[in-house]
Structure formats: structure tokens, C-alpha cells
Chain A
Amino acid sequence: MKLITRSAFIVSLLFIARILSGCFNYPCSEEVYYFDFTEVSTTNLDNSGMWPIESQTDTMKMSAVAFQVNVTGDFPFLGNANQGMQDFGFSSAKAFSKTNCPMFYGANSRIDEISIVTLFKINGNIPANSDVSHLFLCTRNTGLYNSELYIPLNQIYPLINHVYEDYPEIQFQVFLKTKVEADSAKFQINIKLANNSVLTDTTSLIVIK
């Protein structure tokens, strides 16, 4: 009986020591995992209200043509690979465990150029198949923060070419400055990478209201 009590006492001490050690703030790894961008996709935005929101329809107001652009790469599931037991004991009990640390991803080929081509006539001055990149403004991520305004498309590169946290993905939103005077609109978005490859996506056929 005495042996059981002593053993339980020692195990309890180990438990307590492990819980205490779980309160330590372990430094996160800053290792960067490199990947290749493989796909660009666009989503319609409804920007008729106060804030742009993802739209489930293909209709837009003539002054509120906007899209969200996602450029994604292969997701290597490195987060799970990093969660293996790395020391003796109850590692998952750590309050600031390494599993809470963000994963860092860097693109092998940065984005060098974003261009947008209208596939339909926008108005009398802008015919179909024109490059309308200069008519689009953009915001980083998904929305406007801290009274930020738009930035020209050609100024977004420093904001998107960096190390990404958690997912190998870039999101940005593009907004057309000009009114679309036609009944419908469609755009092709081209993402040129540093290795000279080009990723392309075409928006859905937008009905202008």
C-alpha cells in the first residue's frame, strides 16, 4: 500500500511538473516552406453595399464591378507533419505548444505582373479585348481596414510578394473604376510569375444591372 501511495505521489509530481512546463512560451519555428503557385481563381463580389461581399449571382451594378482573386499553390500539409511528438511526456498539454505556431510559406516564383483584359466592350472608348489593368484598383486581402483606400494594381506587388502565414495563398480584390455601359461583362485575369509562366482565369459572364 505504501509503495502504491509513493508511486502515485511521484507520478503526481511528474504530472504537475509537466503542466507547469506546459505554461512556458516555446519559440515558434520561423522555417519557411517553399511552394509553386499553380492556380488563379476569381469570385464575384457584390460591392453595391457598404462593404464588398462574395456574391452567389452573376449580376453586378454598372459602377460596382468587382472580383476577388485567389492565387494558390500546392498545399503540402506541412502543419500535420510538424505535430509529431518532439519530446518525452504529454506534449499536447502545452499551453503555448508548437502546434499553435503559424506555418510560413514562400513562393518559388514571385508574382511579377497582374493584367486584366476585358473580353466585352465596356463603353464606346473601351472595346473588347482591351487591356484594362489601369482601370482596376485593388485592396489587399478581403476588405478595407483602418480607413484604407484602394491602391493601383501596379502597386500591389510589394504587398503580396512576401512570406504567407498558414496557407500558400494570396487573396486580393479588384474594383473597376469605370462604369460598364454594356449589358454584360467578362474579364480575363493573367498572373505572370517570375519564371515567365502565366496563370489565367476568366470571370463568369456578368450581367450588368
Chain B
Amino acid sequence: MVMWRLKSVFVVLLLLFSQSLSAQDKFINSYKLSFFAGLRDTKVDSFPNTQNLDFMNYLYDFHSGYDYEYIGFSGHFQFRKQFEADFKIAMYDDFAPDNLNFTVQYFFHKNIGANFGIYTHTQLMNGFNTFHLTSDTGFYGDLETNFRQRKLRDRGVQGGIVAKKDFGIFHPVLKINAGFSSFKPFSETVLQKEIDGNFLRRIDYQTKNTWNFFFFPEIALDLDCIKFEKSKLGIQLHANYFFSNKSIDYTQTVFEWTTENPTSESINSPTHKYRKFDFDFGIYLKW
């Protein structure tokens, strides 16, 4: 599925980059391609354990300093005078290009426009089985002894306003976005065994789409440094702040001894403050 999406993105990019086609020349007025490296810091509220597992308690949040380094490339295209489009592909140290942003702007005024887009970002969830290891006394809380780490995929749709202004070689852009996002559903299984006993219990978790409102302002600063005959080379700074109250609701199914007669329960998890700050720096070529 991810590969199919990536292929779709590349097909779109290929079409956009096909300058040799005269029709495309008329359609797209300017291009900007950039390479960047950045840091991402996430902050997630952690709540005390309750009767039920709360996956949000286990989102990776390294409390002192940033959580992820990333690199990537992005593009910006201006077409049909009033429209602009941005794409951004970033990857963490696993080099999986799975942090994607795609937005389209419509400028109804020279400097002000409307922004619409979609994104998918990844977020690590570490050691959720700690809940069972500490809560379920009398049991080996998780027979899976390998470290439990999962990459969650946060997906969202967004809209907002965008403001831009050209000051000669300096080009600031401000976007104020808001929208709805949800972590892509996933499943986890925990197998438990009674200490000094034969009793086995399996807990299956199947999470649901839980759409939450988010606020997402962005600022981008471009500075043209070297001017060539038909292009410009410059540096860019980009920062954004993501703020949301998120939760991960799920269905919990418990099997005891055998797979016969399981009990299922729908669990609504509490919402946590989920904040994410990105800062990246890069170089660009504009023509």
C-alpha cells in the first residue's frame, strides 16, 4: 500500500518535472527543489496506568532534547498564476521515506491564499507491553521477550490560510493550518502465562481510527544566495508546530486457555496533549 502511494507520488512528480513538454511549460511557471535536514521533537502527556492499556502513554518522547533527526527533499511549484503546490518527503534514520506532506495553495490575493493538504507522519511507539509487565501480577505479562517497537502512522487532512511576501532575495511564507488526524489502525497481540501455572491468556488489540482536531502553523524562510542565468541557489529555514489532543481507541479481545469463547470490549482511551515541533534547514535551487 505504501509502495503504491509512493509510486503515485513519483508519477505526479514525473509529470511536474517533464519540462520538455511544451504544454507543461505553460502549466507550471516556476520550480523549486530543495534538500534539507532537520530535527523533530515530540511531547506527549503521560498518564498513570488505569485498568486498560493506553497506547498514547508509550509514544516515543525523549524528554530532554529532540526525538528524531530527518533528512528529505521537497518541491514547490507555481502554476496557473494563482496556484502553488508543495510536496515534502522526509525520512528518519531508517531511511524509509514515510513522512509525506502534500499541499496546494490558491492565492485569491497577491499575498494571501487558502491552503489545503494531506500529510502522513510516523511516530514510534516503544514498549507498550510495559503496561502488562507491571500491571498483571501473577503472570508473565508478555511472553514476547523481544523489544516491542512499532512505527505508528499519523495521517491528516488540513486546511488554512497562507501568506507570502517577497522582499527581493528574502521570501517568507506563513501558513496557519488546522485539520483532523488519526493514527492508522494497527493490531497487537500479547500472550501471557500464569507464573507456576498452565493458564494461558491472549489479549488481541485492534485499534480504530480516532480522528482528532489539530492546529498546525508553519513558517518557511527562503534566502536567495547565488543567482545564475535562469536559476537561483539559496538556503531555506522551515519550522512548524503541531498541536493536538489525541487518543487511540481500540477493541480488546481476551482469550483464555483456548481460542474458544473470547470476550471483546470496546475501549475509549483518554485524550493526551500531543505536540510536535519540526525545524529543518536546507538548500534549494529555484528556476
CA–CA, A176 and B191, complex, Å: 19
How far, in Å, is B204 (CB) from chain A's closest CB?
9
Q: Check B198 against A151 for contact (C-beta < 8 Å).
A: no
B258 & A150 in contact (Cβ 8 Å cutoff): yes
Q: What 1/0 flags go to B124-156 for Cβ under 8 Å of A?
A: 000000000000000010011100000000000
B194 contact set on A, CB distance < 8 A: 63
Q: Return the contact of A149 from the options B145, B195, B197, B259 (Cβ within 8 A).
A: B259
**Chain A CB within 10 Å, residue with most, of B143, B144, B195, B196:** B196
Q: Cβ of B193 < 8 Å from any Cβ of A?
A: yes
Q: Which B residues are CB-close (under 8 A) to A150?
A: 200, 257-258
Counting chain B CB atoms within 10 Å of each CB, which of A50, A61, A137 scores highest?
A50
Docked complex: A1-20 residues within 8 A CB-CB of B: none
| B-side contacts of A177, CB under 8 Å | 198-199, 257
Give the docked Cα–Cα distance between A64 and B193 (Å): 11
Contacts A50-B140, A64-B198, A66-B198 given; does A137 touch B258 at CB 8 Å? yes
User: Known contacts A149-B257, A149-B259: does B195 contact A144 (CB below 8 Å)?
Assistant: no
Q: Are A149 and B202 in contact (CB under 8 A)?
A: yes
Distance in Å from the Cβ of A44 to the closest Cβ of chain B?
Answer: 14
Bound-state Cα–Cα, A91 to B190, Å: 49
B242 within 8 A of A: no
Question: Is A63 in contact with B191, judged by CB distance below 8 angstroms?
Answer: no
Residues of B with C-beta under 8 A to A55: none
**Residue contact B257 to A50, C-beta cutoff 8 Å:** no
How far does the Cβ of B106 sit from chain A's closest Cβ, in whole Å? 50
Chain A residues near B144: list those with CB within 8 A: 147
Please report whether the interface of chain B is mostly helix, strand, loop or mixed according to DSSP.
loop
Say yes or no: is B245 at the interface (Cβ < 8 Å to chain A): no
Q: A63 to chain B: which residues have CB within 8 Å? A: 194, 196-199
Taking a contact as CB atoms closer than 8 A, the residue among B145, B189, B202, B258 that contacts A151 in the complex is B258
A149 and B258 contact, CB distance less than 8 A: yes
Residue of A nearest to B203 (CB): A147
CB distance from B138 to the nearest CB of A (A): 11
A49 CA to B197 CA in the complex, in Å?
A: 8
Cα–Cα, bound, A150→B197 (Å): 14
Contact in complex: B196, A61 (CB < 8 Å): yes
Minimum Cβ distance to chain B for residue A155 (Å): 9
CB neighbours (8 Å) of B213 from chain A are none
Cβ of B255 within 8 Å of any chain A Cβ, yes or no, is: yes
Contact indicator per residue, chain A 131-168, by CB within 8 Å of chain B (1) or not (0): 00000010000001001011110000000000000000
Closest to A176 in B: B198
Assuming the contacts A50-B143, A137-B258, A152-B258, asked whether A147 and B202 have C-beta atoms less than 8 A apart, the reply is yes
Chain B proximity of A33: nearest CB distance (Å): 34
Q: Are B196 and A147 closer than 8 Å at their CB atoms? A: no
| Interface residues of A, Cβ cutoff 8 Å to B | 47-51, 61, 63-66, 137, 144, 147, 149-152, 175-177
Interchain residue pairs with CB less than 8 A apart (8): A50-B143, A50-B145, A63-B199, A137-B257, A144-B191, A151-B259, A177-B199, A177-B257
> Top 10 A-B pairs ranked by shortest CB distance?
A63-B197, A175-B198, A61-B196, A147-B191, A48-B196, A147-B189, A50-B140, A149-B258, A64-B197, A150-B258
